[in-house]
Amino acid sequence: NAGVTQTPKFQVLKTGQSMTLQCAQDMNHNSMYWYRQDPGMGLRLIYYSASEGTTDKGEVPNGYNVSRLNKREFSLRLESAAPSQTSVYFCASRASNTIYFGEGSWLTVV
Amino acid sequence: GENVEQHPSTLSVQEGDSAVIKCTYSDSASNYFPWYKQELGKRPQLIIDIRSNVGEKKDQRIAVTLNKTAKHFSLHITETQPEDSAVYFCAARRRTALIFGKGTTLSVSS
């Protein structure tokens, strides 16, 4: 039972490049989330998905797109990376009230 | 949308002292308030939570109080230990979206 799995763990991108962060959970949860964490800013919600087939914008959605591919997978895409998107990205899923986080993806845009 | 304010941003205490972290929220429809602890380089982990129909909840050395009228909730840690040193986040949830405060860095010195 792996919980929430994110890939890649570390990535360096050049400005303007695109990439997709992958997330999968094996707990049969309906709700999934993408957060970014920056020093002094806490965890900010980018997008979330209440159930398979639905996605909603969070606090900071600009520059990102998401896909809820199926119940297990929720991917985050940066179409044209910018230095301001340098951050630690956490995927999470929720059962009832408790949110479970993945280990995080460290992304640097140069 | 929901907005969560958290204070203080840093807190230093001596081992054995108590620590209190306070949060306010803006959306009166929020009904679930968890607290997460994050150690350096790790993912956030749930330590305690409270629902809007409860005023106080305890779990050993930690407790959370909620004042719905004033829209604020607090985390209380008693008999602090060095291993309590970490970043603590409060959050508020209405329906699916979970919004976090900016975090409090707690340092416990022995």
Q: Using one digit for the tens of pLDDT, what is the confidence trace for A3-62?
A: 999 999 999 999 999 999 999 999 999 999 999 999 888 999 999 999 999 999 999 999
- Check whether B40 has a pLDDT greater than 90: yes
pLDDT recorded at residue A69? 86
Q: What would the mean pLDDT of B52-67 be, rounded to a whole number?
A: 94
Residue A1 pLDDT greater than 80, yes or no: no
In this prediction, residue B53 carries a pLDDT of 87
User: At B54, is the pLDDT very low, low, confident or very high (cuts 50, 70, 90)?
Assistant: confident
- What percentage of chain B exceeds 70 in pLDDT? 100
Window 44-83 of B, Cβ < 8 Å to A: 44-46, 49, 51
What digits encode the pLDDT tens for the residues A26-38? 999 999 999 999 9
Is 80 exceeded by the pLDDT of residue B10? yes
Q: What gap in Å lies between CA B79 and CA B18, rounded to an integer?
A: 6
A99 DSSP β-pair partners:
A94
With cut-offs at 50, 70 and 90, classify the pLDDT of residue B58: very high
Q: How far apart are CA A42 and CA A104, in angstroms?
A: 14
Digit-coded pLDDT (tens) for A80-110: 999 999 999 999 999 888 899 999 999 999 9
Residues 6+ apart with CB under 8 A from B28: B68, B71
Among A25, A99, A105, A106, pick the best mutation site for testing chain B contact (most B Cβ within 10 A): A99
Question: Coil, strand, or helix at residue B27?
Answer: coil
> Is A79 part of the contact surface with chain B (CB cutoff 8 Å)?
no
- Residue A47 corresponds to which tokens in the numbers above? 């997008």
CA B40, CA B59: separation in Å to the nearest integer?
A: 23
Q: Which residue does chain B place closest to A40, by CA atoms?
A: B102
Mutate to test the interface with A, among B32, B43, B48, B52 (most CBs of A within 10 A): B43
Q: How close B96 comes to chain A (CA, Å)?
A: 6
